[in-house]
Amino acid sequence: MILLSSKLFAGVEVVKPELETLAPDEGYAVLWVEMYGALPESMRLSADEAFQSGYSMKGIVGGANLHIVKLEQGRYYWKEVRGNSRIRFRIYEDFFSLNVQSGTLNYGGHVSITLNPRNLTGGSTFVNRSSQIYQELNKCCADFLDKYPLVYSGQGTDPYLETFWRANKTAESSSKSPAAPEVEGNQHE
């Protein structure tokens, strides 16, 4: 697998594979991590099933990181953030998880992590920003959006993407050109 990395729009670090046709049991995970404080060596996305491989996010930069990763369908969750040998910050399973569905781009939400190596502490927050992720993917990865639908597969429900895709199908059937709704203002809290 070839990974492409680029610093794009507003300092977002994008890492994505070359677009491939997915196997019947595969989907793409859209992982957004905002990192503050000390930079970790890696973050581990683990699978619920022992026979499935997870993903180790490396090369994390300060600020926004967007990774697109091909995974087998199933439930995944952030397990831990690893800093140097002294820092291991556990993320609780229910905090962030996503269910990768086959044949789709699976977005589970934005995760923000702050690490303080001086006190050996860290904190994390989760927020769903599906409208923002759609706009960011449209800028960097439109080829992925053209081939696979973006779905919210994190905790809870998200009517935004369902409503958006339904409106696009209506627009396509009436031969209007669909467009993403604009997101106004700063989406970061």
Whether residue 170 has pLDDT greater than 90? no
Burial zone of 26 (CB within 10 Å; 0-12 exposed, 13-18 middle, 19+ buried): middle
- Beta-bridged to residue 3, according to DSSP, are 17
Residue 4 · residue 18 · CB < 8 Å: yes
Q: Residue 128 falls within a domain, yes or no? A: yes
Q: Which residues contact 185 (CB under 8 A, 6 or more apart)?
A: none
Do the domain assignments include residue 178?
Answer: no
The DSSP code for 18 is: P
**String of DSSP letters for 126-154:** EE--HHHHHHHHHHH-HHHHHHS-EEE-S
In a domain, 53, yes or no: yes
- pLDDT value at position 86? 64
Q: Is the pLDDT of residue 113 over 60?
A: yes
pLDDT band per the 50, 70, 90 thresholds, residue 180: low
- Distance between CA atoms of residues 147 and 173, nearest Å: 18
pLDDT attached to residue 47: 87
pLDDT at 31: 94
pLDDT at 18 over 60: yes
pLDDT in tens, 77-99: 888 888 766 667 777 655 678 99
* 185 found inside a domain: no
Q: Looking at the predicted structure, is the pLDDT value of residue 4 above 70?
A: no
pLDDT given for residue 188 in this prediction: 40
Our count of domains for the chain comes to: 1
Helix (H) or strand (E) holding 161: helix 159-173
Least confidently predicted of 25-39, 142-156, 164-178 = 164-178
- What local confidence, expressed as pLDDT, does residue 167 receive? 75
DSSP state of 50: T
Look at the block and give the residue holding tokens 């040998």. 85
pLDDT band for 186, please (50, 70, 90 cuts): very low
Show the domain range for 52. Answer: 3-173
- Is residue 16 domain-resident? yes
Q: What is the pLDDT of residues 137-153, one digit of tens each?
A: 999 999 999 999 999 99
pLDDT given for residue 173 in this prediction: 63
3-state helix, strand, coil in the chain (%, to 5): 20, 45, 40
DSSP count for the chain of H helices, then E strands: 3, 12
Task: Tell me the β-bridge partners of 111.
Answer: 33, 126
Residue 188 lies in a domain: no
State the average pLDDT over residues 167-178.
62
Report if residue 118 sits inside a domain: yes
Mean pLDDT for the stretch of residues 46-71: 88
**More confident: 189 or 22:** 22
pLDDT of residue 8: 37
**Residue 83 resides in a domain:** yes
